Structure 1
Amino acid sequence: MHTTARLIIVRRVKRLNPKSVPQGQAELFGVWRHHVIFTDSPFVLAQAEPMHREHSQVEQVFADLEDSALAHLPSGKFTANAAWLTLAATAYNLTRAAGHLASVFHARARTGTIRRHLIHIPARIAAGARRLTLHLPQH
């Protein structure tokens, strides 16, 4: 059986830190990173490239979730897996929303960074006339 496919170079991005390549591993193009697709789809480059970008964004979300709540999966019980998945999706969406509200940096950051910078901050709770006040660190 003969399968036809093609290799498409989607985009070329300038490498920000060219010294980050491991020693002893030669690179063909050391200054640029190339994002490629190997596909057998009939789409032309203008149609295939947006689909590839959407796929890479989904893979980033999966990696982000596996670094947090989805690390607890799978357990031995279906209902526990369903609960963890629901809680993971809710926590991910709330964390991303908090990041977008906080700053431009946090809008693009991974959820682990958002948790370290915005959520895991020690605060002192002060109660006064029907109001709770959080006293946060100076910096």
Structure 2
Amino acid sequence: LVVRRIPDLRPPKDQGQGQGTLFDIWRFHAFFTTTDPDDLDTVAADKTHRQHAIVEQVHADLKNSALAHLPSNSFSANAAWLVCAVMAFNVTRAAGTLTADPKLTKATTGTLRRTIVSVPARIACSARRLTLHLPTDWPWETAWNNLFDSTFGRNQSIIT
């Protein structure tokens, strides 16, 4: 049994009183491991467990998007769907990273679809240059422009 102590960063409910807390508040997270202590010490087991938690978040994200709609009872069709879902997940994550927006770098697939994939815009080509026409006062304009510039290069020719 490994128990990790985590500081509780949630703000107290009585912030308006003007008096801070008397003691620091901690949350405790416990997990079991069957690894031999000679092979893996407590710190290494905690690090391995945290990596497992990251993988679980990826699984949850995939289940909330493409894996929620597996097409058939055919193993081959589902295997192909899984490959396409993972490729789309990786491309979406890369696009979120290329926006250089800290909120979108760690956002879920659903958030990335709503903010940078479903864009009410149009792309125009003039004088071998791409121009993106976004709506006025669109909140994700900077992030989308960063993604567009890093992917296509706004001043590069589209015909080689």
Tell me which amino acid in the other structure corresponds to 1:12: I
The correspondence for 2:123, drawn from 119, 122, 125, is 125
Match of 1:95 in 2: 92
- Give 5+ residue unaligned stretches, structure 1: 1-6, 20-30
Spell out the pairing of 1:1-139 with structure 2 (5 A cutoff): 7-16=1-10, 31-43=25-37, 44-73=41-70, 75-102=72-99, 103-138=101-136, 139=138
Range with greater deviation from structure 2 (95-104 or 9-18):
9-18
Instruction: Tell me by how many angstroms 1:136 deviates.
Output: 1.2
| Counterpart-to-counterpart distance in 1, 2:52 and 2:128 | 49
Which of these two proteins has the greater Rg computed from alpha carbons?
2
Instruction: Output one character per residue of 1:103-131: Cα deviation in whole Å (capped at 9) or x when no partner.
Output: 22211111111111111111123343444
Instruction: Output one character per residue of 1:29-53: Cα deviation in whole Å (capped at 9) or x when no partner.
Output: xx54332212232232112111101
| Counterpart-to-counterpart distance in 1, 2:11 and 2:71 | 37
Match of 2:18 in 1: none
Structure with greater strand share of residues: 1
Residue pair 2:71, 2:81 contacting (<8 A) in 1 also: no
Instruction: Tell me by how many angstroms 1:9 deviates.
Output: 1.2
- Give 5+ residue unaligned stretches, structure 2: 14-24, 139-160
The alignment's TM-score, normalised by the length of structure 2, stands at 0.67
SS in 2 for 1:39: coil
Residue pair 1:15, 1:33 contacting (<8 A) in 2 also: no
User: Number of residue pairs matched?
Assistant: 122
Instruction: Output one character per residue of 1:1-35: Cα deviation in whole Å (capped at 9) or x when no partner.
Output: xxxxxx2112414242667xxxxxxxxxxx54332
Identity across matched positions, percent: 52
- Aligned-CA RMSD value: 2.0
SS in 2 for 1:62: helix
The alignment's TM-score, normalised by the length of structure 1, stands at 0.76
